[in-house]
Structure 1
Amino acid sequence: MNWGTTTNVTIRDLLNFLGYIITAGIDECQTDFGEALHYYTLAFEGNGTVFDLVRRRFDSPDLVHPFIDSRLWAVAEEEADFSDRDDADEVVAPLFEVKKQRFLFEDEIMDLGYSSRDLYQNLPYDFINHRNGMSSTGQKEDIIRKINGYFAPNASRPRLRLWLSHRYRSKSSLALVSRTTVPKREMRLQKPQLHPEIAGTIGYTPSHTAIEYKNGGDPIRLRISKSLYRAIGALDANIPYTLRDRDEEQQILEFMEEIEYHEDYSEETGEIMVKDTETGKVERIDVEDSIYRE
């Protein structure tokens, strides 16, 4: 099992975690216990790989929310027993920490008007909705629109426009050129799935989707990860072209270059678009009977 990108979690680690938060490592049966023995407290107290991950991911200073934290602090203050206002922080802070830990697991029961999901304000919700909504209509068109818009804002044609670059001695190209478009019927969205024989035995959430081109030969795929989805959404985020990640762009260009080999185009008529990679400006050139007109 892999949690994140760098930490491996074994089944033994997971069983150790579950066993501890259920039993607290105590042999005798307990019928009267306080906050110290609640599972949401024990999850942060044990030793092991999963406990370290829980503390790192759920006990992070980044998990803050002004309204949630103020409500939890107010509740902790009401329950705290202190006579000197100067001692309030020392008394209230531990109670607040326990309530914050409980809220991460039991937000609906605590009913603060918010969910624990609200603490994760930086989660890639757009990508998650895309991945989970693969079966809904319009997803393929939306991806094509985002890719087209990445290179040429306001591009609205329901065809994928292919852009080509020329790298000389590993130097980035100063311009991108487009002369070909691909109809959306030749593209399809794919989501990784487990083999049918094991699909029902474990839960699986793919880390990516893919847009696939297939026109008689082997399929050509562009892997759409969270980072790439964020990159092609740069238009919606109003991120200037010159500030975008070139590594992500190169993945798209390599995908388009492979497709270009399989597509036919006229050298005498059509539309050519040229993009200045330094300014982001796009120029359109019409070709008619081998005559070029801007």
Structure 2
Amino acid sequence: MPVIVMIFVFVPAIVLMVSMPYLTRETISFGVTVSAVQFHSEPLRQMRKSYAKISATLHTILFIVCIICLIYGDEHSKQQSWIIVTYSLAMVVISLVINISYNFKMKSLLPMLPIALETSIMAVDIGFRKRNISLSSKWFLIHVFIIVVGIVTVLLNYELIPDQIPIHYNSSWNVDGYAAKSYSSVFMPTIMQVFLILVFIFENRSIRRVKQQVQPTDPNRSIRQDVTFRRTWSGFMITASFLIVILLSVVQLNMISLLNINFAIPR
């Protein structure tokens, strides 16, 4: 079961990370603003290919090592949970190191890239930030409401929570890990919810502060694409954070047996 979960959860994430340079807009290359001519130049084509090869190789090796550890690990202990958590952290660190290194390479290569020679007109929409370029942060009030309902529900039913709370299940869905009941353990999902919501709210508000992306060759089309991209990304963050809040609420409500689900957060 852990191997199947790894495949369905992490393989799409690996594919997304490896393909990231090909999914960005033509005005951005490894976190650096470039022109369309520079984006399609041969040096940047080679950089994207190099990034994809290195990223795919490292993530594939790490993934295979993790799968082998899960297969030969003790499924009746906390070992598998630690393997998955360690793999997740290692995957983030590898991706971060690769992106930072290619960002420095991009900055050093930028002065040597070709410059568009054709005559162009640069247009800037001075009313850009007054537009509805991101969804309102008021949508997060729904998330806050769910969190408050969870807190009240747990407080009202605190006596129903067993002295030993199941926190981990093995591949046979048998409990093999417990934690003593305390306010810190019971409200750990709530702490995680609040922290994640604050992060998502900050990111959603940052969408309006990021500088405008305009292509000189077609400024009007570029502005429309920029607005669409920002709205889509804002909607994704609100939806993703909502699903995470629901997931953590399920974990919390399961502690007081309001839900009969064999699910817990690995420790």
TM over 0.5: no
TM norm structure 1: 0.21
TM-score, structure 2 normalization: 0.22
The one of the two structures with greater contact order (alpha-carbon pairs below 8 A, sep at least 6) is 2
Structure with greater helix percent:
2
Larger Rg over CA atoms: 1
Q: Which has the higher strand share?
A: 1
